Amino acid sequence: MGIRHIALFRWNEGVSPEQVERVGAVLGTLPGVIAELKGYGFGPDLGIGSGNYDFAVVADVETEQDFLAYQRHPEHQAALAVIRPLLADRAAVQFGIEL
């Protein structure tokens, strides 16, 4: 069984499109440097639902060990340093998937 990690972000009031673009830019580097990532996707909410969060990240890995390696990777930590100051709220789940 693989693991799908999902994190949804709600931005603080006043977060700019440029700041969200910077989040996308730093996340976009991760699949190239974190070998444990077997699938990776992210993006801003499309605005077709109501009450939605603002941004999603989906990371697919093979094992719990690989998930922890992803979380602890210095480049992931660097991405979190960009994201955390913008966060009003965060929701996450890891669940089992076929890989």
64 contacts 84 by C-beta, under 8 angstroms: no
- Give CA–CA dist 37/3, Å, rounded: 10
Counting contacts by CB under 8 A, is residue 55 touching a second copy? yes
Residue 66 engages a second copy in binding (rule: CB under 8 A) = no
Residue 45 binds a second copy, judged by CB under 8 A: yes
Note the Cα 78 to chain centre separation in Å.
12
- In angstroms, give the least distance from the CB of 22 to a second copy: 17
Give the nearest distance from C-beta 33 to a second copy in angstroms. Answer: 20
Residue (of 39, 10, 36) closest to 23 by Cα position: 10
Of 32, 30, 39, which is closest to residue 99 (Cα–Cα)?
39
Residue 48 binds to a second copy (criterion: CB under 8 A): yes
Residue 76 makes contact with a second copy by CB under 8 A: no
Q: Quote the strand ranges of 12-54, DSSP E.
A: 39-44
Does residue 23 bind a second copy (CB under 8 A)?
no
Residues at the interface with a second copy (CB under 8 A): 3-6, 8, 41-46, 48-49, 51-56, 58, 64, 67-68, 91-97
